[in-house]
Chain A
Amino acid sequence: MKQETYSTAYAKLEKLVERIESDTLPLDELADKVKQANELILFCETKLRTIEKEVNLKIR
């Protein structure tokens, strides 16, 4: 099964959080990074609770 979407989202999110936590992040970039992170969080949360498309399979 394809897992790229949510695992890439998760990996991106982890990177962002590290950036947000780093001391070198300029304060004026903070808002933007937090916004990006929140979008990824929303994506993952939505992913957990929806099936993208109902798979129509031929059984037998």
Chain B
Amino acid sequence: MSPKIKLSELVDQIKGTLQQRFAGEVFWITAEITNVKPQDYNRSYRFITFIEKEGNTTKAQINGVFWSSALGQIDEFEKITQQSFVNGLELTCKVRVAFNNRYGLQLEVLEIDSAYALGRIEMERQRTLERLVQENESIKLIDGQFKTFNNTLRLPTLIQHIGLITAPNSDGQRDFKKEIENNKHEYAFSVIEFLTQIQGDHAHELILQQLRLIEQQKEKFDLVVIVRGGGSQTDFKPFDEYELANYAANFPLPILTGIGHDRNTSIVDLMCFQHKTPTKVATFIIERNFEFESQIFDLKERISSRVKNLLEDASSNLKEMKRLIKSLSPSAILNRGFAIVTIDDKIITDPKSIKPNAQLKTLLKNESIYSTVTKKEINEARDI
């Protein structure tokens, strides 16, 4: 029979054996992580599991741990790569083999290679973009700009019915709605919310589901808005996924994105109408309606200026006529030194009818002269 020993003694022996073999050694490994739990701020460590898969079979699996001295590495990784530390992530890190009396065999993570992760993300991104263009006639790369079915749609002149995809109780949701509801022009909007998780493992599938839901009732909406707050926990991965990007690129309603990012542009951004932040999306929509109102205002101005001109013209025509009539009146003529010749109170316009000895009455300004014609002759041209 094998010797009976205390558990702690056996564990100590295992630990000793492992220490002998691995003491002072560190290794760089690249492996997928799983069993990642949300960070518990009451604990100064985080447990994960490393796995290596071949197809669908797991070839190797081992527990891993970030002790407090290495926890900062996770934050650093998320900051640099804009990816969340979640299940399914492939991590390249420096580890040490350790045996803890309580937790057993573990790989202690000492350092994460964020630059490597970043390079991989970028490569993946480029691959996805190339695939989108290759597999879709509706997606084209022209002069460095992606032209898709979606981002070449005509935006409605008046935007009122908005389908909003966002995370519940998020900064993005709050910022967008606040801006829309408090718009100074008092434009009316109907915002229907399609709430979903917007970062993490399955976020892209959930966002896709919401898009499908909107598509089923697309006649009720002018456009779709996808927003997400900035914050430190930024995860771009869902918005770089092929399926979501592809669906968005071919979506029948214009999609406006405000996924809160200054440094990076996600693939979904490239396929749609990108606005950097939720507030900026809202401002854009309000401005769009303001443009419409300005056009109406311009027409209004044109009408009133036309009416004003017409009335002014009519009144000045009237004045002109009055002046003309006045200047042609007999008294005006007499004032200017002309005379009116009458015979028997009839105005003579043709002097031929005046015979010698005729009795004339000549009207001048203020007075009339009675006379008898003694002589008549034809005027020489120079006389007048």
- A interface residues with partner B (beta carbon < 8 Å): 1-3, 6-7, 10, 13-14, 17, 20-21, 27, 30, 34, 37-38, 41, 44-45, 47-51, 54-55, 57, 59-60
Would you mind naming 12 contact pairs between A and B with Cβ atoms under 8 Å apart? Answer: A1-B221, A3-B157, A6-B158, A13-B299, A34-B303, A44-B293, A47-B158, A54-B190, A55-B190, A55-B192, A59-B193, A59-B195
- Shortest distance between the CB of B233 and any CB in chain A (Å): 25
Query: CB-nearest residue of chain A relative to B196?
Result: A60
Tell me the smallest distance from the CB of B212 to a CB of chain A, in Å. Answer: 12
Q: How large is the interface on B (under 10, 10 to 19, 20 to 34, 35 or more residues)?
A: 20 to 34
Q: Is the CB of B289 within 8 A of A48?
A: yes
Known A-B contacts A13-B299, A17-B302, A55-B220; the reply to A27 vs B310 at CB < 8 A is yes
B186 on interface, CB distance cutoff 8 Å: yes
* B314, A27: Cβ atoms closer than 8 Å: yes
Interface residues, chain B, CB within 8 Å of chain A? 156-158, 160-161, 185-190, 192-195, 213, 217, 219-222, 289, 292-293, 295-296, 299-300, 302-303, 306-307, 310, 314
Which one of A30, A48, A54, A60 lies within 8 Å of B213 (CB-CB)? A60
With contact pairs A1-B219, A3-B156 given, residues A48 and B192 touching in the complex (Cβ less than 8 Å): no
Is A21 within 8 A of B220, CB to CB? Answer: no
Beyond the given A3-B222, A51-B188, A59-B192, please list 16 additional residue pairs across the A-B interface where CB-CB is below 8 A. A1-B221, A2-B219, A7-B157, A10-B296, A13-B299, A20-B303, A30-B307, A37-B299, A44-B292, A44-B293, A49-B186, A50-B188, A51-B161, A55-B161, A59-B194, A59-B195
Determine the main DSSP class of A at the interface with B. Answer: helix
Given contacts A13-B296, A54-B190, whether A30 and B310 have CB atoms under 8 Å apart is yes
Q: Across the A-B interface, give the 10 residue pairs with the lowest CB-CB distance, nearest first.
A: A1-B222, A51-B188, A51-B190, A17-B299, A44-B296, A50-B188, A21-B306, A49-B188, A17-B302, A55-B220
